[in-house]
Structure 1
């Protein structure tokens, strides 16, 4: 009984970590904030590419660092980078200063991504709970979505009471300091280390081994390519709702004392709050779909659903309610898919390679974003947001069709068993 309480308490801590991590009060208005300094969609795409390039460069080394020298230690380092990036954002006024902020933010992301998931997996393995990892991960992710929802609601209040959006970056430092305290309270055994003294030669060797491990195993390679490409598309698209709001004339004002420019920020925060509430519910219950279909079939179907959602947004880009529904569908797809992808990766990856594999997944995501974020920003500037969303929707639907055809072809090959 006592052990069960300890397990539940630690799982709650995992959830609270995600809750405080997602209290980024600037998230619902980040693109609006950058846009207010005269940046174009292409420049914003470049900033995203800079951030993701840092993740790409440091992702695998950070995963190996976590496996070799302690996951808790690495998470503390990541929050230091985050806090520094928030400070630089708060004092920034031009593209080049924001680029520095994105570099620091990217370092924080690189040192964080994959690490906390591997801590959760290690904890579940230690307590023989690995068979319910998608349920546990979905539960902890729901905390993250609730944190994002609370963050968005709080942002509404801040936008209405604070004239300078830079204050949101300073305020976001507080929950990150709380997260540092939470990570420090995790059991010492979760800061497992394979090697005490840092050795560059051994460190580089482990990096190379992690890459070889992933790309020599064709199943693992295919899983990570599917996971990373989907996440990249989603990460690029999800913030464009802010630019859509900027581009649509605001005719209905909820609060008469605020102008249309302020209402853009208010509507963005309201939309994100509602989206994250739906996402929290979806993430918490995504494992239930496994009773109907296997995980691979479900994650593949999310390509089709996301493509349709993107098409809806692109076709009805001037209809704010339909755009809102389209973004809700996109978030539902991600939050169904992500816990199931973690389970799939956890099942296929060796236990001692999980942090490195998850880091490779994140690194590939970053590479796709580095390539496509500036391109999609350029398409938005040159043609329109509508054109960009329609194009992405078509690509996602084609991807689903190709994956389905490949799956059917593989089934036929396996079923064909000629006599010798």
Structure 2
């Protein structure tokens, strides 16, 4: 089988592994009489497992194969849906949260790495931005369409969204099994892979990209965490939140889709859009807040695909491990930021908090952009 088949298979896989139960998962927990403390435990356990196994998961993909890593991610995703489907209490849902954490372990950085290595085998790495942008666009666009009817399906039977999720993950397993592993030219063991990843991460150019990804992604996640209260401040009725969330996903995908067409605008374009969006959240009202949210989501897709291309073009070996290091740094930095800005929001209120978010973002991002310009990256 040609390596080219990996590309459409990866598109389909990326659509199928999205958790379709997301819009109703908290309602499902409450339906089973769980407390918010217990719900918080699920999120904490999932985050801890993913963070603790982030880098080992990347090493597994580099040593044993990215295809097998994607298969394992889908298997753990399937187990998650099965446990939610048959479960009716804290213990089963906790096991589901653990399985979901391991699902994240094996997918972090793996899709982009498999796509880049596939294009490398085809001698078409210059097209990575285009195909990676499409990967993001298709997954977000179709996921947005799928998520719209999920609350209605949940109202018919609370178990149905998880049954749909089971079929989706079975499909993802099939898609990943059909892929062809783009093997590296030289085999490495775990120790060699880790040493190479650490050595390459110290490369000044890669270090700049790691920090840029960490800062841009973390501040976008901070802004995203407060979207629901900001929509309430805008005066939008809650019945329209689903439409906004669908638009957000489509715009994130669109931002990634158009990177290869607007790449001459550089990273500055995405950074300016993000800064304008954060400023709009801090000062806006009504429809301005909604526009600001949509700007941030477009910038999210644009910055992600632009920086994914930059770092992948710079990596020589241990690709997935380095991308896992990138995700680890982002998760760690985001955890610190959300803790700080959560306390700020308690003191100032949600909307005034965003002016401090903007100031902090500019303090972190401007020096990195200056270094990037000096190095002509």
Structure 2 length normalisation: TM-score? 0.84
Deviations 1:272-303 (A, max 9, x none): 2122223333322211112x33xxxx224433
Whole-angstrom CA distance in 2 between matches of 1:374 and 1:217 = 31
Q: Could you tell me which runs of 5 or more consecutive residues in structure 2 were left unpaired when the two chains were aligned.
A: none
Contact 1:228 1:365 in 2 (8 A): yes
Deviations 1:234-262 (A, max 9, x none): 234324323445x559785xxxxxxxxxx
Partner of 2:313: 347
Contact 1:52 1:369 in 2 (8 A): no
Whole-angstrom CA distance in 1 between matches of 2:49 and 2:195 = 18
Q: From the superposition, tell whether residues 306 and 35 of structure 1 become closer, same or farther in structure 2 (CA, over 3 Å).
A: farther
Partner of 1:240: 226
Structure with the larger RCO, 1 or 2 (CA within 8 Å, 6+ apart):
1
Whole-angstrom CA distance in 1 between matches of 2:162 and 2:4 = 33
Deviations 1:130-152 (A, max 9, x none): 11111111122211111221222
Whole-angstrom CA distance in 2 between matches of 1:389 and 1:100 = 36
Partner of 2:337: 372
Partner of 2:150: 155
Task: State which of 163, 171, 179 in structure 1 corresponds to 2:172.
Answer: 179
Whole-angstrom CA distance in 1 between matches of 2:342 and 2:84 = 21
Q: From the superposition, tell whether residues 234 and 151 of structure 1 become closer, same or farther in structure 2 (CA, over 3 Å).
A: farther
Alignment of 1:202-213 (within 5 A): 202-213=189-200
Q: Which has the larger radius of gyration?
A: 1
Partner of 1:65: 60
Q: From the superposition, tell whether residues 66 and 52 of structure 1 become closer, same or farther in structure 2 (CA, over 3 Å).
A: same
Partner of 2:294: 328
Partner of 1:258: none
Contact 2:3 2:182 in 1 (8 A): no
Q: From the superposition, tell whether residues 169 and 243 of structure 1 become closer, same or farther in structure 2 (CA, over 3 Å).
A: farther
RMSD: 3.4
Matched positions, count: 372
Q: From the superposition, tell whether residues 100 and 16 of structure 1 become closer, same or farther in structure 2 (CA, over 3 Å).
A: same
Whole-angstrom CA distance in 1 between matches of 2:332 and 2:92 = 23
Range that drifts further, 102-111 or 83-92: 83-92
1:171: Cα distance to partner? 3.0
Q: From the superposition, tell whether residues 32 and 366 of structure 1 become closer, same or farther in structure 2 (CA, over 3 Å).
A: farther
Whole-angstrom CA distance in 1 between matches of 2:177 and 2:16 = 14
1:370: Cα distance to partner? 2.9
- SS of alignment partner, residue 272 of structure 2: helix
Task: State which of 190, 196, 200 in structure 1 corresponds to 2:182.
Answer: 190
Task: State which of 207, 228, 243 in structure 1 corresponds to 2:214.
Answer: 228
Partner of 1:85: 80
Q: From the superposition, tell whether residues 191 and 11 of structure 1 become closer, same or farther in structure 2 (CA, over 3 Å).
A: same
Deviations 1:338-397 (A, max 9, x none): 1211211122110x3212211111111121233233334444445432233332222223
Q: Could you tell me which runs of 5 or more consecutive residues in structure 1 were left unpaired when the two chains were aligned.
A: 197-201, 253-263, 415-420
